[in-house]
Structure formats: C-alpha cells, structure tokens
Amino acid sequence: MVGGVYTPTHEPCVGPNGRSLYPNGVGGHIRPFNNRLPTIDAWNVSVQHQLTQSIAATVAYVGNKGTHTFIGDNPAYNINNPTVVGYATGVPKNNRRPFYGLYGWTQDLDFLGNNANNKYNSLQVTVDKRFTGGLSLQSSYTFQHANNYDPTYFNIDPKVNYGASSDYRNHVFIFTEVYQLPFGRGKKFAGGVGRAADLLIGGWSINSSTNCQEWHPVGRSDCRWLLVREHRRGKPRSGGANGWSMGATAARHLRQRRAE
C-alpha cells in the first residue's frame, strides 16, 4: 500500500497499462473503460391506394440497422474462448486461448462490450375495409428478415456465427373481421319479425381473428373466432337471460425443422 492505494510492486502482477494484472483461474465480468452507446437508424417508405370507397391497401418497406449493440441477446461474450485452430492436431485447449500465451489465463472472461451490429428488413402489406354493410375487415402480411451475431466464437471470428436471428418470424399473416348477421328487425332478412323472434335471431355478429406465423426454427398457426349477441344499441351483452356468447380457439404447432 502506498498512500492508501494498492500499488503492485512485482512485475508479473503488473499489466501493460500499469494496473494490477487479473489473476489466473478467477472468472468474472470485464467492461471497457470507455463505453460506447448503441445507436439505431430506421427508415421506411409506404404507398397507399384506395381500391373502393371503403377498402384501402398499403404497401410499405420498413428497415433498421443497429450499431454498437449486444451480441445477439447477450450483454457479454467470452474473449478468452479457445480457437479451433490446432484442435485436430491435439493442441491443448488452454494453449489455444488468446490470453493464455500472454498472461497465462485459462479461465473464461465475459466482456461487456457493445461490439456487434444488427439489421432488419421487411415488406409489410395491409388491406383495410371500413365498416359498411355490417362488415369490417382488417388484414396484414409481413415478410421480414433480421440478422444478428451469436456470442459463440465471436472473439475469434464474428462472421462464423452471423446470420438469421432466432426470435423473429419470416412470415406473419393477421386477418380480423366483424360481421353483423343480416337477421332481425331492420336487417335484410326477417326485417319485419316480432319482438320475440327478433330476440332470438337478431343482434348477432361474428368476430374472428386469424394469426398465422412462421419463424425459424418453429412455425405456428393460430385461428380464433367468436360469436357475439349484441344489444340493439350495439353494446355487447356479457351474459344473462338475453345475452350469450360462444367461442372457440384452435392452434397448431408445426413440426420443428432443423436450422439451416
């Protein structure tokens, strides 16, 4: 201790910058002295066309690029990960570690550095029908692709594990609709029925939601529909003698495919 400050006096304990050298066999997290803030650049362009008085279609390109980001979803990566060079000829694992020859370190060292980049590109198509004739529709399709790094072997050659991200969907299709059934007073069919018959056949609507997704490496499709009884004033009935609801949900998980 010199002036209350620990000062290493033996040359093997001093690193090249004059600070204490990290001991062998002790793992931990390492951070850079100067932190780099991650940034993202985003852009998009869209074209919309009105097909009819109630239907409009939009086609858009949406993309972004992240700079100085995490490696994948990991805040750290091992900077003392051994190279595969020499593995086939029997070179010991520790001898293939980058810092073994310099400082004799045989442990893993997690470095908290924002040293990666990522990018995202997508085509997004939407078709909307405003509520007319008792029917409204909304549909969207997205074809997208995202690339990122994996921390494995990043310290040796980042390009080895650069490719498709593991948490995005290649194709996403969503379709929703609300259709008021044309039965009962004031409707196209049986518009002059009495109150008793109207309570039975009038005020029904069908609400459906279809969500189909395909992503890497697992695909999933999901379909939902709901039959709803409504008030004459258009407010849904949640229950009771004059209100009923019916629903069903179906989901299908596609078989897992091997990552290419």
What does the pLDDT look like over 59-103, one tens digit per residue?
A: 999 999 999 998 888 888 999 999 999 999 999 999 999 999 888
Domain boundaries, the chain: 1-30+77-111
**How many helices (H) and strands (E) are present in the chain, helices listed first?**
2, 12
Q: Looking at residue 246, what is its pLDDT?
A: 38
With b for 16 or more beta-carbon neighbours within 10 A and e for fewer, the 162-198 pattern comes to: bebbeebbeebbbbebbebbbbbbebeeeeebeeeeb
pLDDT at res. 97? 94
What is the predicted pLDDT for the residue at 226?
Answer: 53
Write down the H helix ranges in 65-171. Answer: 100-103
Please tell me the predicted confidence (pLDDT) of residue 3: 54
What pLDDT does 210 receive? 80
In this prediction, the residues of the chain whose per-residue pLDDT falls under 70 are: 1-16, 215-260
